[in-house]
Structure 1
Amino acid sequence: MGRSARLALSLCLPGLFAAGLAGATNYTLWIHGRTSGGAIGDYNDFTYFGPNTTPAGVNKKSVNWDGRSGVASQSGIVRNALDCFCTGNNWCYIGVHSAGDMLIGYTLANYGATARPRTNAQPNTAGVCGAAAGGGTQAGWNIKWVRAAAGSAGGSELADIGAWTTSEPMVQQHKVATARALYNHNDTKNVWFYNYAGAAGTLYSFVLPGQDDEVVAYHSAGGVSGSGGSSFCNPGDWFCNDLTLGPGPNQGGRAKWSFHSVVFRDDGEDYGHYTGRNWGGITSLVRRDMEATAQ
């Protein structure tokens, strides 16, 4: 190749590189827990979590669902959001609270390898996006990771004792044995779940085994595997095994689900379950880490 040709190629490469990245955008999706959130289809309504003005990751979007129905019916709303913002050149960070953990886990396990439409990231009023230029499909979604605050994918003993309205399908699915059999929790399609477990529970501590945040115990918030719940605590508690940090087995040998890692364990017993509609409780730590790392 002659000198003039090499010079021409060197001048073209930056433009070609930029063209290859054109339209690539990162988004941060937030999936709320049980009870109503914002308007379904309105990705800018953060009523459940707190003020929309609070920083919570790059290009944040709220994935609102009805907060009561079962995961099979509500998974379609999650899939719409993932199709909108996590396909084509776009990538997503995902933050979830409580039952949002169950929703994203179910969706990945059952639909994470299916053909998904590449879209234009421009939702209509129903929260559905149109086809991207050139259209086409891809297998699954572009997800960097999931951060779960007080994740309830392992169920809650409060559902077992009927502490909540028992007619709600979501409550029925939160019975511990039911939640753990609802889908394959180990099948995350290789997406890492980073778990944050709070321990400031008091009101229902006599029902919830081990450490808890008043709604879910460590066995659920910490992504502990198995068909039933069990007691896990902070180091120094003589009456139950430790929930360990990282993805490795807990004290006593019980494993976490595959691609699940505990990144925060509430050793100081400072963080409760609820957001208080102000990004509060254990969610405050996920929001903080999203602001710092979801870029």
Structure 2
Amino acid sequence: MGRSARLAHLPYLLCLPGLFAAGVASATDYTLWIHGRTGGSAIGNYNDFTYFGPNDTPAGVNKKSVNWDGRSDVASQSGIVRSALDCFCTGENWCYVAVHSAGDMLMGYNLAHYGGTARPVTNAQPDASGVCTAGTGGTQTGWNIRWVRVAAGSSGGSELADIGAWTTSEPMVQQHKVSTARALYNHNDTRGIWFYRYAGAAGALYSFALPGQDDEVVAYHSSGGASGSGGSSLCNRRDWFCNDLTLGSGPNQGGRAKWSFHSVVFRDDGEDYGHYTRGSWSGITALVRQDMEAMAR
């Protein structure tokens, strides 16, 4: 359409305020944060960031904390995550998602199992339990998610669960055994949504049990999204006795591939970043928070 034709249509468009109210004006972006094991924040309260740090810390546009109990099995807690995704990531609304540790597993599980199902288009107004009612009464397939950023992702499991370093009766710990975690769902099935991964390497206490580089809880094979049914030893570039965890989505040194739509954007070559948030947006989460603040707009 030429400039004169566009101008000719302008008076007509200006007479249709509902056109904009139903379209661009109603669209809202949200940033969802999904915490890891142990929890600590109030389930259903999307404004409680106790697990991560102070609520008033910038961490992306319209940030919401998706709180689950931090100890039960993935299947029983996945509905809490789906409620949040239905609330904020349907209809005209889009989401940026950040996850820490076991939150990686919950997000991947939901996309693989439910990302192709019919989801209700809601009003983005949660009740006290964190559930939003249907807005238009319509449905859509899956959710509107721009990308997922992963701090210390444990979707590949942790050898600490295998050796019983944590309370072994806890369902979440049982599912973090390396072979169990990797068989829990199809990690390659992200519905085309990219998982951008941040791998810390300031491990110390349990490094004897974790292969290659680690952040004290998960090794690079997990935080770096290495595929396969078992763990592997992956390291930083200066380690001559261990294959490198490579940046990007390509295979690691030695040929070990990453899961589909998984890309390493930060590898802790300086061994500066640990696993824990310590209630102050600390550890490897600090880098994800900075990037969410800068890019989730």
Indicate the TM-score class for this superposition, using the shorter chain for normalisation: over 0.9
Matches of residues 124-139 of structure 1 in structure 2 within 5 Å? Answer: 124-132=127-135, 134-139=136-141
Aligned partners of 2:146 and 2:191: how far apart in 1? 11
Which of 253, 256, 266 is matched with 1:254 structurally? Answer: 256
Aligned partners of 1:261 and 1:152: how far apart in 2? 15
Please tell me the residue identity of whatever aligns with 1:118: V
Answering whether residue 112 of structure 2 is matched by residue 109 of structure 1, we say: yes
Change (3 A) 1:4 1:195: closer
What SS does the corresponding residue of 2:105 show, helix, strand or coil?
Answer: helix
Other-structure match for 1:67: 70
Aligned partners of 2:22 and 2:85: how far apart in 1? 24
Change (3 A) 1:4 1:56: closer
Which of 18, 31, 38 is matched with 2:34 structurally? Answer: 31
What SS does the corresponding residue of 2:26 show, helix, strand or coil?
Answer: coil
Please tell me the residue identity of whatever aligns with 1:104: M
TM-score normalised by the chain length of structure 1: 0.96
Aligned partners of 1:149 and 1:79: how far apart in 2? 20
> CA-to-partner distance for each residue in 1:264-294, whole Å, 9 max, x for gaps?
0000000000001000000000000000000
Which of 172, 175, 179 is matched with 1:173 structurally? Answer: 175
Shift in Å, 1:36: 2.0
Other-structure match for 1:54: 57
Shift in Å, 1:239: 1.2
Aligned partners of 1:7 and 1:176: how far apart in 2? 61
Aligned partners of 1:41 and 1:283: how far apart in 2? 22
Other-structure match for 1:187: 189
Paired residues, number:
294
What SS does the corresponding residue of 1:72 show, helix, strand or coil?
Answer: helix
> CA-to-partner distance for each residue in 1:68-88, whole Å, 9 max, x for gaps?
000000000000000000000
Consecutive unaligned residues in structure 1, runs of 5 or more: none
Shift in Å, 1:37: 2.4
Change (3 A) 1:4 1:151: closer
Aligned partners of 2:130 and 2:64: how far apart in 1? 11
Other-structure match for 1:79: 82
Other-structure match for 2:48: 45
Answering whether residue 264 of structure 2 is matched by residue 277 of structure 1, we say: no
What SS does the corresponding residue of 1:136 show, helix, strand or coil?
Answer: strand
Change (3 A) 1:48 1:11: same
Shift in Å, 1:21: 1.1
What SS does the corresponding residue of 2:23 show, helix, strand or coil?
Answer: helix
Please tell me the residue identity of whatever aligns with 1:97: H
TM-score normalised by the chain length of structure 2: 0.96
Other-structure match for 2:121: 118
Please tell me the residue identity of whatever aligns with 1:173: Q
How much identity, in percent, do the aligned residues show?
81
Matches of residues 93-108 of structure 1 in structure 2 within 5 Å? Answer: 93-108=96-111
Change (3 A) 1:3 1:85: closer
Shift in Å, 1:8: 2.9
Aligned partners of 2:202 and 2:17: how far apart in 1? 53
